[in-house]
Amino acid sequence: MKIAILSRRAKLYSTLRLVEAATAAGHEVEVIDTLRCYMNIASHKPSIYYKGKSLPYFDAVIPRIGASVTFYGTAVLRQCEIIGMFPVNESVAISRSRDKLRSLQLLSRKGIGLPITGFAHSPEDTPHLISLVGGSPVVIKLLEGTQGMGVVLAETPKAAESVVEAFAGIKVNILVQEFIKEADCSDIRCIVIGGKVIASMKRQAKEGEFRSNIHRGGSASTIKITPEERVAAVRAARIMGLNVAGVDILRSNHGPVVLEVNSSPGLRGIETTTGIDVASKIIEFIENNAKPNKTRTKGKG
C-alpha cells in the first residue's frame, strides 16, 4: 500500500516509528508536510498539490496534526477524503476532539463518566458556577490549552474567582471542573485502535504538581486497567468517531472519568513504557480497513 503521514516534522519519534512500522510491513510510505499541501477547491476535479507538484494518490493517510495547525490540517485531510483516500482518523472527528467543550458535551450525551464541568460566559455567574461543580478546590482550564498549559488548580473560592476573573479579562474561554482529588495527581492514558484498548499507562505528576502530563515532568509506568475503564475508553473513542485515540481517564470515587480524547496521541511515552509496538498496530489497522472512499463523512462534516 501507499501510505502518507501528514506531519510537520519527519524527525519526531511518532512519525519515525510510523515510517519504520509501515516500511517493515512492506508498504511504501511518505511523510508529507501538512502546511506545504495546498489545494484547488474551485476545480471540478478536487486536487491537492505538494511543493509544486500534484500530490499522488495514497491508499491511506495517517494524520498527525498538531493542535496549532488544526484548521489548516483538517482542511488538507478533508481534501484527501474527498479524493477518496482512507484517513486513519477522519477530519470531522479530529475537529470534534480538538474542541474540549464540544467533546465533553458529546461524551456526556452518551452517559460517559466525566468530571463535573461548568461553562459560563459572564464572570458575574462565577460564584454560582463554582458551587455547581461542588465548590473549591476546582480545576480551571483554558479551552484552547494543550499539554497541561492553562490548567490551574484553585484551592479556595477566592483563588477560583481571581483566576476566572483574570481569564475573563483577557477574553479567553474556560471550563471550571470538579477537582478529582482521589486520582492522586495521576491519570491513565489508554490507546484505542479500531475499538480496542491496545496499550495503557499511568502517568504520575512530579512532586508538588497535580498535572500528570509528561511535558510537565510527570512520569509513566505500566498499569492494569479495570474492565470498566476499558469500556469507558473504547466508548469515548467511538463517540468521538476516532479509530485511533489516546483516551485520558482519572480514577474518581464515582468511577472512571474521561478527561480528554486525543486524536494524535504521542507514541514515545506509551511505547517506551509498555514495550508495545503501537505504530505497527496502527499499520495493521490500515491493512484491515483501508479502502477507497470508505470515509464515513466523505469530508462533508
The site for ligand ADP (CB under 6 A) is made up of 115, 139, 141, 145-149, 151, 177-180, 183, 187, 210-213, 248, 250, 259-260
Q: How far is the CB of 208 from ligand ADP (least distance, A)?
A: 13
Q: How far is the CB of 174 from ligand ADP (least distance, A)?
A: 12
Respond yes or no on whether the N-terminal peptide bond of residue 56 is cis (omega within 30° of 0). no
> How far, in Å, CA of 58 to CA of 79, rounded?
12
Other CB atoms within 10 Å distance of the CB of residue 200: 24
Other CB atoms within 10 Å distance of the CB of residue 299: 20
Q: How far is the CB of 136 from ligand ADP (least distance, A)?
A: 12
Q: Which is nearer to ligand ADP, 250 or 276 (CB)?
A: 250
Q: How far is the CB of 222 from ligand ADP (least distance, A)?
A: 17
Q: How far is the CB of 225 from ligand ADP (least distance, A)?
A: 16
DSSP state of 19: H
Q: Which is nearer to ligand ADP, 266 or 299 (CB)?
A: 266
CB of 169 within 8 A of CB of 95? no
Q: How far is the CB of 114 from ligand ADP (least distance, A)?
A: 9
- Copy the grid coordinates of residue 171: 477574553
Q: Which is nearer to ligand ADP, 50 or 179 (CB)?
A: 179
- Amino acid, res. 256: P
Element (H, E) at 245: strand 244-252
Other CB atoms within 10 Å distance of the CB of residue 24: 12
How many residues does this entry show for the chain? 301
Q: Which is nearer to ligand ADP, 180 or 233 (CB)?
A: 180
CB of 232 within 8 A of CB of 113? yes
Q: Which is nearer to ligand ADP, 151 or 163 (CB)?
A: 151
Residue 133 dihedral angles phi and psi, to the nearest 5°? -90, 10
End-to-end CA distance of the chain: 27
> How far, in Å, CA of 238 to CA of 234, rounded?
6
- Amino acid, res. 130: I
Q: Which is nearer to ligand ADP, 15 or 117 (CB)?
A: 117
> How far, in Å, CA of 59 to CA of 206, rounded?
43
Residue 127: CA atoms inside 13 Å, Cβ hemisphere, count?
2
Q: Which is nearer to ligand ADP, 247 or 282 (CB)?
A: 247
Q: Which is nearer to ligand ADP, 115 or 269 (CB)?
A: 115
Q: How far is the CB of 16 from ligand ADP (least distance, A)?
A: 23
Q: How far is the CB of 60 from ligand ADP (least distance, A)?
A: 27
